[in-house]
Amino acid sequence: GNSVTQMEGPVTLSEEAFLTINCTYTATGYPSLFWYVQYPGEGLQLLLKATKADDKGSNKGFEATYRKETTSFHLEKGSVQVSDSAVYFCALTNNAGGTSYGKLTFGQGTILTVHP
Amino acid sequence: ETGVTQSPTHLIKTRGQQVTLRCSSQSGHNTVSWYQQALGQGPQFIFQYYREEENGRGNFPPRFSGLQFPNYSSELNVNALELDDSALYLCASSYRQGRELFFGSGTQLSVL
C-alpha cells in the first residue's frame, strides 16, 4: 500500500535560516505529491504540489521537487520567517482511479518553530 | 465563495455514546472526504462520498458511517464511541474526484 515517511521533528530554526523537511514515499503507480501546512487551531491548507516526476512545486518561497528515482519530495525554503511556524504534512494520492482515487495518504507531520 | 465549514468546532462525549459531525462543502463541490487526525499524527482517511454514495473507505470499522445530501453537505456518524475516537475530524471537499481537496477547520472530539 501507499505510505509517507517524514523526518522526525520538531524542527526549531532562527529567522532567515534555511529549511529542509525530508519526505519519502512508497506507492504503486505514479502518485501525485503534496505538502500541506496546518497553523494552530486551523485545518489543512495546500502549500504546493507536483503531479509527475521531476516537477517542482513552489509557493510562498517554499519548493519541493518530485524525485522518482529516490522516491522523495523534500520541502525547502531559503529563508524562514516567524510566520512559517506551523505543522507541515507530506502527502500523496493515487491517480490510478478506482475507490482510492482522491484519497490522501499523509505523513506524521513535522512541527516547525521559527524564533526571531 | 464560502469555504468548507464544519460544526460543531468542539464536542465532548462519553464512551458508548453516539455523535454526528456536520460539514458544508465549498460551493460547486460534489465530493466530500472525512479524515481523522489523532494528536501528533497525520490525518487518516475515513471515507469519501461522491454524488451521495460512499466511494472509497479507509481502515475504519462500520460504526463509522456517513451521509452526503443532495446539496453535497455531509455528516459523519460514530456509534459506540471509544476513548481512542478522541481526535480532530476533518472534512474536505473537491469539485470532483481526484481534484484538489479543500479542508475545513475540523471538529475536535473528546471522548471521556
CB pairs under 8 A between A and B: 61
Kindly indicate the confidence band of residue B1, based on its pLDDT and cuts at 50, 70 and 90: low
Q: How far is Cα A45 from Cα A66, in angstroms, rounded to an integer? A: 19
- Is the pLDDT assigned to residue A98 strictly greater than 60? no
* Residue A16 DSSP code: T
Q: How far is Cα B57 from Cα B30, in angstroms, rounded to an integer? A: 17
Q: What is the pLDDT of residue A92?
A: 92
Query: pLDDT tens digit string along A46-59?
Result: 999 999 999 999 99
Q: How far is Cα A97 from Cα A29, in angstroms, rounded to an integer? A: 11
Grid cell listed for B27: 460551493
Phi, psi torsion values for B85, nearest 5 degrees: -80, -10
- Is the pLDDT assigned to residue B82 strictly greater than 70? yes
* Average pLDDT of span B5-16: 97
Q: What is the pLDDT of residue A81?
A: 97
Closest CA to A3 of B28, B45, B105, B31: B45
- Is the pLDDT assigned to residue B21 strictly greater than 80? yes
Closest CA to A106 of A96, A95, A92: A92
Best residue of A38, A46, A47, A105 to probe chain B, by most B CBs closer than 10 Å = A38
CB contact under 8 A, A109 and B105: no
A45 CA: distance to closest CA in chain B (Å): 7
